[in-house]
Structure 1
Amino acid sequence: MNNPQVTLPTANSDEGLKRVIGVPALTLSIISGVIGAGIFALPAIVGTELGAFSVFTYIFCGILMAAIMLCYAEIGSRITTSGGSYAYVEAAFGEFAGYIINWMYFFGWGIIGSAALMNIIADSLNVLFPVFSSPLIRGGFFLILTVFMILINVFGAKQGVGAVKIITIIKLLPLLGIIIFGFSEVNTANLRMEHLPSFRSFADTTLILFFAFAGFETSLGASGEIKNPKRAVPLSICIAGIVVLIVYMLLQTVTQGVLGGQMYLFKNAPLAAVADKIIGPIGATILLFCAALSCFGNVTLDILCTPRSLFAGAKDGLFPQFLARVHPKYATPYLAVITYGLLIFIFSISGGFQQLAVMASAIILIIYLAVILATVKLRKKKMEGDENLFKAPGGWATPLIGIGAILWILTGLGRWEIMSTLIFIAAICVIYFLTRWVKQKNAFAGILK
């Protein structure tokens, strides 16, 4: 039976945004968003657990990300308004589902993910300055960093963007240097597989590793400003995905080949250890500071961008009204920035990188699962110009691979992570219905007046 033709929010003429982002800019933005600070620490965690088999874990994550990215590319060619994951899920399942996804992304991925990166900063510096192993020192350091990043973004977006641009360049150059010069130090014996890991170990490690692959969808939040999104979104996602997978596999191969069985000795800063092998102690020091600076840049960018969503939500009545206040001098949503920064600080002192990365990965996987299901639902609906829209190759196999892989990886969650996630989702539902009740009550009161 044919489905009736429906009209989806593929474009929003009321957004008032100019479509100025082309394929090169969007591709670079996605690459920069994915190749973040987590890759400075994750090769040791993966290598310690899986040995030489770790390279295949990247391939598995790459296949999963390919399925997810292709679904994003398909739905991104249909829904071209701003909002990314939130807009896609809302278009398929309505306001309530979109609201849950928006909160999960803001809190579960944004705050917890940034808190995990804060711990990489301390772990990297701890290699040079052992004093950072003290919880009190780490807490004080996190507080100073948080206050500094808040001040940068309260004083103006221009300052925050300028800092992030410089840090992005500093972040990528040493990674390329390790790939180019590291192969000369590789011992092929370290790349031989002695045994296969258990499925449980593989699933648990993949859940942690996925932290390094997530983030490509952030750039799609600006869908309302992308030129010819029906072409640009799929093309940019495919190019960026291939580049990221190649870079990650090369980094893991070099790290595994150089460190081998000694990987566990450098769990906080494996790439710095590789740099030490290449050019000596100065190389390790440079990599450690680059890792810390990269994390600082990622968190600074998060504190720059995400509070704007809080600000917009507060103006729409979704969040407390005080978050909508603008600084009288600097014209920034200063209370939203301060609130968001302090939440990152609180979570940064509540756990280490690995624990926080597992939680953030679980949240983003659930978001990806919702987007894949949205893609499946919207694929069944006829749209005007449907024949010109991008459709993920592989037919129904592509979304099914994504759904199956995500559900399997999520089996690696412990009881605490499962309960925390369910409680969080339940709290979001309560907030949603309370907000609707208050808005309806105020609207009714306005009518009576």
Structure 2
Amino acid sequence: MPHTNKEEGLKRVIGVAGLSLNIINVTVGAGIFALPAIVGIELGAFSIFAYLFCGIMMAAIMLCYAEIGTRITSSGGSYAYVENVFGDYAGFIVSWLAVFGWSILGSAALMNVIADSLAVLFPVFLNPWIRGLLYLVLIGFLVLTNIRGAKEGVALIEGITIIKLLPLFGIIIFGISLINADNLHWEHLPSFNTFSNTTLILFFAFAGFETALGVSGEIKNPQRTIPLGILFGGGLVLILYLLLQTVTQGVLGAEIGSVGDAPLAAVAENIVGPIGGTILLIAAAISCFGAVSTDILNTPRVIYAGSTDGLFPKFLSKIHPKFATPYWSISCFAGLIFVFANFGSFKELALLASAAILLIYLLVVLATISLRMKKQENVEKSFKVPGGLVIPIFGIGSIIWLLTSLSKGEIIATLIFIAVVSGIYFVMKGIKKRYGSKIR
């Protein structure tokens, strides 16, 4: 088993505020600009309770991340946690699920959302060459920023997060006075299947917080910073979502089904007129850019950690001699986002990403339980989820419940992906064994 606190040559510069804003930024993505309508159409005013229920589910998972994150503080996030507890094979699967099944395709899709949003205002961005140039400029800027250091990357994220949240807070503050109380009543309870499927959608609105822990090796005082960062970041996300859904449902009511994918823009138009829709459209583009910037900050650290353990090519673990950042991992990860943003088709692979994040969460919660059962030094200095195994088991049950909501096609695609990755692992292991070396 690798050392959980090994010196990696990375600088620990990220504090509670940076981690909290990182979590908020990666979680509050483009989905929140469309989510209130999707949920409102299915559940109506009862949607508020779906948010609460989903928030409790995610809290259980986040608490498990907080516990294991204070015991395993090396870079890599979910990969580091699972690999330390369950070994190379499980870590290999998680690393591929996280990097290829979730991050690259997700960020590439967000880059397309940025271009699509701008195209509404500036039709020139419908041109594929102009879109490609836009991707090159934006991704290139993020690469240069993050290579200069995690501190610079977090500073950029903090600025984007503030800009992104301002219009959302504006909708909440100025929209409350426009709420019609009749729009917040419901005549009947939704069916269990409807509630289950909608909760699955809400789950993905909360998913992604764990990528903020990909910089674990650069978090100062992780035993304190990680629990507080998760508490503040996750708590603010839940409150923000609840308030936005309440205002949107209260203002639009039955009209929520006619606003398509832009319910918040519709609310903004009710508040300040047509200019409000334009502001929210720009905010959606900024939100996507912020999510991509967070991914380029965090996921390369997962690649870096996997490279140091032999899961990816060795050059990806090289540290910049001046800035002490994994510059090859950052550059290659961003390059793949650029390629898929320009040439990839993400609709089918997005289904795989949904299952991928659920499986990662399941393995991390199981790793938390397993690690708790083992004797470790300095355990008294780490955070421990209260209530014994109640919360971790609740988290496992919630994840399994959501997995049962996946379609047959999603389940088959996930199994095929895992089978292919497993084949790669055992081929690599056989080759390295033949030449007298271990997989790590």
Structures share a fold, TM > 0.5? yes
Give yes or no for the alignment of 1:151 onto 2:140.
Answer: yes
SS at match of 1:65: helix
Shift of 1:239: 2.4
Query: In the aligned structure 2, how far is the partner of 1:269 from the partner of 1:140?
Result: 27
Instruction: Find the counterpart in structure 1 of residue 5 from structure 2.
Output: 11
1:129 and 1:54, CA in 2 relative to 1: closer, same or farther beyond 3 A?
A: farther
Aligned partner of 1:342 in structure 2 is 339
Q: d(CA) in 2 for partners of 1:204 and 1:194?
A: 20
Q: For residue 51 of structure 2, what is the aligned residue in structure 1?
A: 58
Change (3 A) 1:356 1:430: closer
Query: Structure 1, residues 391-431: CA drift from partner, whole Å, max 9, x if none?
Result: 21122110111111111111111111111111111111111
Residue 438 (str. 1) matches residue 427 (str. 2): no
* From 397, 403, 407, the counterpart of 2:400: 407
Counterpart Cα distance in 2 of 1:200 and 1:430: 36
Distance 1:194 1:139, change over 3 A: farther
For residue 96 of structure 2, give the secondary structure of its aligned residue in structure 1.
helix
Find the counterpart in structure 2 of residue 253 from structure 1: 246
Residues 141-168 of structure 1 deviation map (CA, whole Å, 9 limit, x = unaligned) = 6544433334335656468947655433
Cα shift at 1:443: 4.3
Q: Using the TM superposition, give the Cα deviation of residue 218 of structure 1 relative to its aligned residue in structure 2, in angstroms.
A: 1.8
Seen in structure 2, the aligned counterparts of structure 1 residues 177 and 405 have a Cα distance that, compared at 3 Å, is same
Evaluate the alpha carbon distance shift between residue 87 and residue 363 of structure 1 in structure 2; reply closer, same or farther with a 3 A threshold: same
Q: Deviation of residue 230 (structure 1)? A: 2.0
| Alignment partner of 1:386 is 2:379 | yes
User: TM (normalized to structure 1)?
Assistant: 0.85
Measure the CA separation in 2 of the matches of 1:372 and 1:155.
35
Q: Report the CA distance between 1:261 and its aligned residue.
A: 1.4
Q: In 2, are the aligned partners of 1:208 and 1:358 still within 8 Å (CA)?
A: no
Aligned residues: 427
- 1:91-116 per-position Cα deviation (integer Å, ceiling 9, x unaligned): 11111101110110111110232244
Alignment correspondent of 2:61: 68
Q: Are residues 54 and 126 of structure 1, via their aligned partners in 2, closer, same or farther at CA, if it must alter by over 3 Å?
A: farther
What are the residue-to-residue correspondences of 1:121-160 with 2, within 5 Å? 121=114, 124-125=117-118, 137=126, 143-153=132-142, 157=146
Amino acid at match of 2:410: E
CA distance in structure 1 between the partners assigned to 2:29 and 2:67 by the alignment: 25
Change (3 A) 1:16 1:131: closer
Q: CA deviation at 1:127?
A: 6.0
CA–CA distance in structure 2, aligned partners of residues 324 and 20 of structure 1: 19
User: Could you say if the C-alpha distance between residues 225 and 399 of structure 1 is closer, same or farther in structure 2, counting changes exceeding 3 Å?
Assistant: same
After superposition, give the CA deviation of every residue in 1:168-191 in whole Å (9 maximum; x if it has no partner): 332111111111111011111111
Aligned twin of 1:110: 103
Seen in structure 2, the aligned counterparts of structure 1 residues 193 and 9 have a Cα distance that, compared at 3 Å, is farther
Q: Give secondary structure in 2 for the equivalent of 1:27.
A: helix
1:270-289 per-residue CA deviation (whole Å, 9 max, x = no partner) reads 11111111101011111111
> Which residue in 2 is equivalent to 1:206?
199
Cα distance, 1:332 vs structure 2 = 5.2
CA distance in 2, matches of 1:78, 1:308: 18
| Counterparts of residues 33-112 of structure 1 (less than 5 Å) | 33-112=26-105
Pair 1:315–1:340, CA change in 2 (3 A): farther
- Do 2:296 and 2:333's aligned partners in 1 also have CA atoms closer than 8 Å? no
Taking the aligned partners of 1:91 and 1:315, their CA distance within structure 2 comes to 13
User: 2 CA distance for matches of 1:158 and 1:15?
Assistant: 16
Q: Output the amino acid matched with 2:38.
A: I
Give 1:373's match in structure 2, choosing from 366, 372, 387. Answer: 366
Q: Structure 1: how far apart are the matches of 2:73 and 2:307?
A: 24
**Superposed displacement of residue 299, structure 1:** 2.3
Q: Secondary structure at the match of 2:245?
A: helix
For 2:411, the equivalent position in structure 1 comes to: 418
For the Cα contact (< 8 Å) 1:303–1:340, is it kept in 2? no
Give deviations 1:281-314, integer Å, cap 9, x for gaps. 0111111111022213322443465356547756
Aligned counterparts of 2:95 and 2:189: Cα–Cα separation in 1: 39
Task: Give the C-alpha shift of residue 336 in structure 1.
Answer: 4.7
Distance 1:412 1:344, change over 3 A: farther
Aligned-pair CA distance for 1:256? 1.0
- Give the % identical residues: 58
Q: Classify 1:358/1:43 alpha carbon distance in 2 versus 1 (closer, same or farther; 3 Å).
A: farther
Q: Whole-Å Cα distance in 2 between the matches of residues 248 and 432 of structure 1?
A: 40
Deviation (angstroms), 1:56: 1.1
TM-score (norm. length: structure 2): 0.86
Distance of 1:386 and 1:85 partners within structure 2? 20
